[in-house]
Structure 1
C-alpha cells in the first residue's frame, strides 16, 4: 500500500491486528491534511481493522467520510465495505463466504485471515456455551466450515460425535480467568456473527 506507517507495519507483522484501526485513527486525526483519506490512504485496511475490533459504527463513519471518488476506484475498499454490510445486516451465512473470498492485498489478507480465525474461535466458544447437542450440518454452517473439517475443530473442545444420533455432544470447556477479558471483547461480535436459531 502507498501509505506508510512504521507502527502500522509493525502491528501487522507482529499480529497485533487489534492495533490497526487505532493506529490509523490516530494518524488520520493528526494529519494536517483535511483530505487525507483521498491521499493514498489504506482505507480498506482501516475499515477491516474496525470490523476486526467489532467497532462497526466506527467502520460505518469511516465509510461515510471516505471521498466518493475513492469508493468508486478502490475494489478492495468495495470488498471491505461489502463485508461490513454483511456483518451489519447479520447475514450469518454470507460472512464466511466473504471472508473466504480471494483478491485481498498482502496486508489485508493477513487481517482477513486473523478475523476469520477470531470469529471461528469465538463461534466455537459460543456454541459450547449454548448447546448440549448439535448436528454436524448446523455446526458446520455456524463455524464456516465443511462437515469434513469439523472433527479437528471441535475435538479440542471435547465435543464427541454420537454415532447413534449423528449429533455432537457438546462439552462446555472451562474458561480460565485470563481468557475472560478476551471473551468479553469477542462477545461484542457475537450478535453480528452467530445466529443460533437459523441455518442448517
Structure 2
C-alpha cells in the first residue's frame, strides 16, 4: 500500500513520486477499482501539477459508486472545475472545504501553487493592476496581497491603489552560428530520410 497517510511536513513529500506510486496502485488494484483515498489523492495531485487532461480522464474513470460514496471526491473535482474555468475566486472558495488527513497537504500545496501561477500570470500580463483585483487573483485579504506583492519586489502606490509588477526575466535561447544551424538541419533531414 502506497502513502495513504502524508508526512507532517510538506517539504519532505515528493509529489511526483507519490503520483507515480498512486498511478501504479490504481493499475494494480483488484477488480480495476482502487480505494477512494487513492482516487482522491491522485485527482488532487493532477490538479496540483496543473495536469487537467489527466484529471479529467481520471474523473471519468472513477466508478460512480466511489463518487457517490466519497463526498471528498466531489469536493476535489469541484476545485478542478474551477481551475479549468480559471475562476480564481471560485478556486479559493472551493479550497476552503474541510479535507481528510490524506488530502489536506496536497490541497494546501495546490493553494500555494495556484497563488504562484496567479502571481506569474499577473507579472506577465499586467503593467499595473488594481490592488483589489490582485487580491482576488491571490485569494488573500487586501493587506496580505499588497504585502505579497511588495515581497516580490513589486511597487505599490497607496494613492492610486495600484500594484506595478516586475516583468519576469525571460531566458533567451542561445543563438546558433550558421554552421551549427546547418548541422542541426542536416540531422533533421537525415532523421526524416531514415
Q: TM-score, normalised by structure 1?
A: 0.74
Name the counterpart of 1:151. Answer: 146
> What are structure 2's unaligned runs of at least 5 residues?
173-194
State yes or no: 1:118 paired with 2:116: no
* Cα separation, 1, equivalents of 2:148 and 2:10: 26
* Cα separation, 2, equivalents of 1:121 and 1:173: 13
Per chain length, whose mean CA-contact separation is higher, i.e. which structure has more relative contact order (CA < 8 Å, sep 6+)?
Answer: 1
Aligned residues: 171
User: What secondary structure, in the 3-state scheme, does the structure 2 residue paired with 1:42 have?
Assistant: helix
Name the counterpart of 1:78. Answer: 74
**Distance verdict in 2 for CA 1:150–1:64, change over 3 Å:** same
* Cα separation, 2, equivalents of 1:138 and 1:14: 34
Runs of 4+ in 1 over 3 A off after TM superposition: 6-13, 173-177
**Distance verdict in 2 for CA 1:52–1:40, change over 3 Å:** closer
Name the counterpart of 2:22. Answer: 24
- Please say which of residues 17-26 and 61-70 is displaced more in the overlay: 17-26
CA shift digits 1:106-158 (9 cap, x unpaired)? 23110011111111112112212221211111111111111121132111221
Q: TM-score, normalised by structure 2?
A: 0.76
Query: Is the Cα contact below 8 Å between 1:56 and 1:84 reproduced in 2?
Result: yes
Name the counterpart of 1:133. Answer: 128
User: What secondary structure, in the 3-state scheme, does the structure 1 residue paired with 2:50 have?
Assistant: coil
**Distance verdict in 2 for CA 1:64–1:42, change over 3 Å:** same
> What are structure 1's unaligned runs of at least 5 residues?
178-200
* Cα separation, 2, equivalents of 1:120 and 1:7: 26
Query: Is the Cα contact below 8 Å between 2:6 and 2:105 reproduced in 1?
Result: no
Max radius of gyration: which structure?
2
Name the counterpart of 2:54. Answer: 58
Query: Is the Cα contact below 8 Å between 2:155 and 2:164 reproduced in 1?
Result: yes
Name the counterpart of 1:46. Answer: 42
CA shift digits 1:17-42 (9 cap, x unpaired)? 2333222112222x1623332x4552
* Cα separation, 1, equivalents of 2:21 and 2:5: 6
